[in-house]
Chains A and B, each alone.
Chain A
Amino acid sequence: MAFVNLQNVTYQYPLTKTPALQNINLQINEGEFVAIVGPNGAGKSTLCYALAGFVPHFFKGEISGTIEVADKESSKSTLDEWVLNVGLAFQNPFNQISGAKYTVFEEIAFGLENIGVPREEMKSRVEDAMALTGIRDLADRSPYSLSGGQQQRVALTSILVMQPRLLVLDEPTSQMDPIGTREVFGTIRKMAEDGMTVVLVEHKMEWIAQFADRVVALKDGSVLLEGKPNEVLTSTLLAENGFGISRYTSTAREGKKQGLWKKENLPVTLDEAVEGFKHNA
C-alpha cells in the first residue's frame, strides 16, 4: 500500500461555510517527491495541515474520509505519536519559531529535546542539519535577529533535524534569495533520493519541474490535475484557472502563435526552452 494514503478526505474549518478540502484522494509512495500547486485559497496549506495531523487534531472542525501515513491512521493517533513520522515546515517561519530559545542552535534542538533524544546525539544531529542547509554561521544568533530568508532556513532545519519519514513543506523558500532557493531544492531532492517522502507547496514552477517527481494541482479544495511535472505545468487548464506558470511556458505558448516555437510540448525549465528556441536564434 502507498506510504501516504488519503481517501475521500473532506474537511471544513470551524465557523466556516464551505469545505477547505473536498473529496481528496491522494496516494504517495515512500521516497516520492510530490509538489502541490494552486492559487491562494485552493487548500494547499490545509492539505499540509491534514498530512501533519494539525487538521483536525489542532484546528478541530469537521472531517470525513481517512488519512494514513506509514500504515497509521490519523484519526486513531495522537499528535505526539504523529510527529514522530511527519514533519511540517510552516509557510510563515515567524509562526513556527518557538520563542522559548535564545539561539538558533537551541531552536533547532527544541524538537529533539521534546522527544527525548540523548544529549550527544542531539548535538551531532543539530550540527549535521545546520551543515545541510548552510546555516552553521547562524548557530549563536537569536532566531529573532535573523532576516526573513534566514529565519526560513532555521524553520526548515528544525524540521529536517527530526528526520521525519514524511516531510511536508509549505512554501519553504518564499522569502529566500533565488540561488539559495535552488540550493534548498537540491537538498530536498537529495533527501527524497535517500528515502524521505516529500510533499512541497510551491509557486516556483521552474524548480518544481526540475526537482519533483509528480505535481498535484489544487483548485477550490479539489484536485484539478495530477501527473508528471511537465504535463501538469504546461496544461492550458492552469493558465485559465489562475495558476502561476513559468515564463518559459507562457513565452513559448505566445511564440507558438508566431511560429517561433515549433515543438508540440511546451517548456517549463530553461534547458527545455533553449532546446525548443535554439533553431531561431
Chain B
Amino acid sequence: MKIEITNLHFTYPTGLEALKGISLTIESGEQVAIVGQNGAGKTTLVRHFNGLLQPASGSVLIGDWDTKKTSVAKLASRVGYVFQNPDEQLFSRDVLTEVAFGPRNLGYSKEKIDELVKRALSLTELSNQTETNPYDLSPTWRKMVALASIIAMDTPIVIFDEPTTGQDAVNVARIANVIAELRKEGKTVITITHDIDFCAENFERVIALFKGQVLLDGSAREVLGQEEVLAQTYVDPPQLTRLGKRLGLKETVRNQEEFLKALES
C-alpha cells in the first residue's frame, strides 16, 4: 500500500510549526527509518499516517484514502502504530485480551483473530504470558505486548515509534527479528529511531528530518555516509561507518560484514 504525502504542513495549537512542507512517497513493502533531532517532527509526521493528526495544508494519501476524509477507526485497518511509550497504549487486564483487541475491532472472523493473535504472540515471544496483566510485566515485555497488539491487526503498513528505547541487546535483536518477519510478508515498515546502528542494520531507506523538513532521503548507504549534513540534525553516522571514514575506506560501510570485507580488499 502506497503512502503519498504532498506538501504537508502542520502547526500545533500552541503556534509551533512542526511540519513545514513535506513531500514523500513510500512504496508498498518498503522498510524506512526516520531519523533526526529531538523536536524535528518525526512523531508529528507519522501521526498523520493514521489520522491522529490532520494536515493544516497539503495531503496524506494511504493507498486511495485521503486521511482528511477518512476516520481514524477506518485508517486503523491500513496503518498500525506502535506508540513510543507502551504505557500510553495498553489498557487490558491480560495480554491475550490486549492483543486480540485490535483485530476484533477490525471485524475479522473468529478463526482469523485466533490465528493472528497466535502468530503475533509467537513472534514477540509472549505465547506463555497470555493470562498475565501487561502491567505486571517489565517495561521490556510491555513494549513487546505493544508490538504484538499492533502486529495482530495485520495492517499493510506498520509504524514503530522508537522501538529500541531502553531495550537491551537481546530485546533489540528480538525487535529486529519482528521487523524482518514483517518485511518477508511484504508489509511496509516505518520506524522512528535514534539508534543509528540499529537503523543501518535493518533498514534500506533512511529519511532524515530537520526542523520540520526533509533534510536527506535515500538509501541507507547514501544517507548515513553524509556525516556533515546529518550533524545539522544531531545525528551521527553508525559506529562502523564512522570507523570506515576515519580509516579512509572508499566505500561507505554500514555493518560488520561490509566493514571487514572492505578492510580485506
**Chain A residues engaging chain B, CB cutoff 8 angstroms:** 38-41, 91-92, 94, 141-142, 145-150, 153, 171, 174-182, 203, 206, 242-248, 250-251, 254-255, 258, 260, 270, 273-274, 277-278, 280-281
The yes or no answer to B231 lying at the interface (CB within 8 A) is yes
Q: Mark B183-224, 1 if CB is under 8 A from A, else 0.
A: 000000000001011000000000000000000000000000
The yes or no answer to B133 lying at the interface (CB within 8 A) is no
- Bound CA span A40–B175, Å: 14
- Bound CA span A281–B166, Å: 35
Q: Which of B233-264 contact A (CB under 8 A)?
A: 233-236, 238-240, 242-243, 246-249, 256, 259-260, 263-264
Q: Which residues of A contact B39 (CB under 8 A)?
A: 146-147, 149-150
- Bound CA span A142–B264, Å: 53
Beta-carbon contact of B38 and A145 below 8 Å: no
Most chain A CB within 10 A, of B38, B170, B259, is at B38
Beta-carbon contact of B170 and A178 below 8 Å: no
Smallest CB gap from B141: residue in A: A40
Beta-carbon contact of B162 and A242 below 8 Å: no
Contact of B248 among A41, A176, A203, A281 (CB under 8 A): A281
Smallest CB gap from A243: residue in B: B169
Min CB distance, B113 to chain A, in Å?
30
Supposing A178-B196, A244-B168, A247-B238 touch, asked if A273 and B85 sit within 8 A by C-beta, the answer is: no
Contact of B84 among A148, A243, A248, A277 (CB under 8 A): A148
Count of A-B residue pairs with CB < 8 Å: 133
Contact of A171 among B12, B166, B196 (CB under 8 A): B166
**Chain B residues engaging chain A, CB cutoff 8 angstroms:** 12, 14, 16, 36-40, 42-43, 84-85, 87, 138-140, 162, 165-172, 194, 196-197, 231, 233-236, 238-240, 242-243, 246-249, 256, 259-260, 263-264
Smallest CB gap from B166: residue in A: A174
- Bound CA span A251–B247, Å: 14
Min CB distance, A186 to chain B, in Å?
14
Beta-carbon contact of B263 and A260 below 8 Å: yes
Q: Which residues of A contact B169 (CB under 8 A)?
A: 39, 203, 242-245
Beta-carbon contact of A248 and B243 below 8 Å: yes
A-B contact pairs, 10 of them (CB 8 A): A39-B170, A148-B84, A150-B38, A174-B165, A175-B84, A177-B194, A178-B194, A244-B169, A254-B256, A255-B260
Min CB distance, A235 to chain B, in Å?
14
Most chain B CB within 10 A, of A248, A254, A258, A277, is at A277
Q: Which residues of B contact A153 (CB under 8 A)?
A: 38
Closest 4 CB pairs of A and B: A149-B38, A281-B247, A244-B169, A179-B234
- Bound CA span A145–B246, Å: 39
Q: Which residues of A contact B197 (CB under 8 A)?
A: 247
Contact of B38 among A180, A206, A243, A250 (CB under 8 A): A180
Beta-carbon contact of A177 and B234 below 8 Å: yes
- Bound CA span A4–B162, Å: 35
Beta-carbon contact of B264 and A177 below 8 Å: no
Smallest CB gap from B241: residue in A: A247
Q: Which residues of B contact A175 (CB under 8 A)?
A: 38, 84, 162, 165, 194
- Bound CA span A215–B138, Å: 24
Min CB distance, A260 to chain B, in Å?
6
Other contacts beyond A40-B140, A142-B14, A260-B263: 11, CB < 8 A: A145-B14, A150-B38, A180-B37, A203-B167, A242-B168, A245-B169, A251-B256, A274-B247, A280-B247, A281-B248, A281-B263
- Bound CA span A118–B140, Å: 42
Beta-carbon contact of B239 and A148 below 8 Å: no
Supposing A40-B140, A41-B140, A277-B263 touch, asked if A243 and B168 sit within 8 A by C-beta, the answer is: yes
Smallest CB gap from A93: residue in B: B85
Min CB distance, B43 to chain A, in Å?
6
Beta-carbon contact of A258 and B38 below 8 Å: no
Beta-carbon contact of B168 and A203 below 8 Å: yes
Beta-carbon contact of B264 and A258 below 8 Å: yes
